Amino acid sequence: MDPRIYAQSLHTLPKPTRKTVNQPKNNQFHHLLHDEMSRTTELKVSKHAQQRMDVRGIEIPEEKWLTIQEKVKEAKQKGVTDSLVITDDATLVVSAKNDTVITVMNREEAQSQIFTNINGTIIID
C-alpha cells in the first residue's frame, strides 16, 4: 500500500466522540440545586399527633405551620434529626428526618414532661 494513501485514509476517519449522559450544564445544576434547597417541605402529622390535637383542642394557624416547617427544614440542614418545637400555645415533637410531627401537647402539659432522644430545639414566639 502506498504510504501516502494510508496517511490520507487516516485523516478521513471520523474523529471519536465522547458520549455524554444527559448531564445538566453547570448553570442548570446550580438552579436545580437551588430549587430543591428552597422548596418548603410540608410536614406530615402522624395519626397519634392528630388525635392529640383533636382531643386537646390544639389548633395551629397556617402561618405558624409555615414557620414551623421552615425552621424544621433549617434544623434538618444543620443535622438535626429529632426536634422539640415550642410555640406560644403548643409543644411538638418532630422527626426532621421524616418531616413528621410525632406528638403534640399544649404548653401546660409540656412543662411537666421530660423529652428524650431530641437533638435540636426550636422556639417560635
Q: For the whole model, what pTM was predicted?
A: 0.68
pLDDT value at 16 more than 90? no
Render the burial of 91-111: b for 16+ CB within 10 Å, e for the rest.
bbbbbbeeeebbbbbeeeebe
Quickly state the pLDDT bin for 76 (edges 50, 70, 90). Answer: very high
Q: If you average pLDDT over residues 72-76, what whole number do you get? A: 95
The values of phi and psi at residue 9, to 5°, are: -70, -30
Q: Do residues 94 and 82 touch, judged by C-beta distance below 8 A?
A: yes
Q: What is the pLDDT of residue 87?
A: 95
Quickly state the pLDDT bin for 35 (edges 50, 70, 90). Answer: low
Q: What is the pLDDT of residue 32?
A: 66
d(CA 32, CA 43): 22
Q: Which of 3-7, 35-39, 110-114 has the highest mean pLDDT?
A: 110-114
Residue among 56, 64, 112 at smallest CA distance from 85: 64
The values of phi and psi at residue 62, to 5°, are: -55, -45
User: What residues form DSSP beta bridges with 90?
Assistant: 106
d(CA 108, CA 88): 10
pLDDT value at 74 more than 70? yes
Within 10 angstroms of residue 19's Cβ, the number of other Cβ atoms is 5
Q: Where are the domains of the chain?
A: 42-123
Q: What is the pLDDT of residues 89-108, one digit of tens each?
A: 999 999 999 999 999 999 99
Q: If you average pLDDT over residues 29-48, what whole number do you get? A: 73
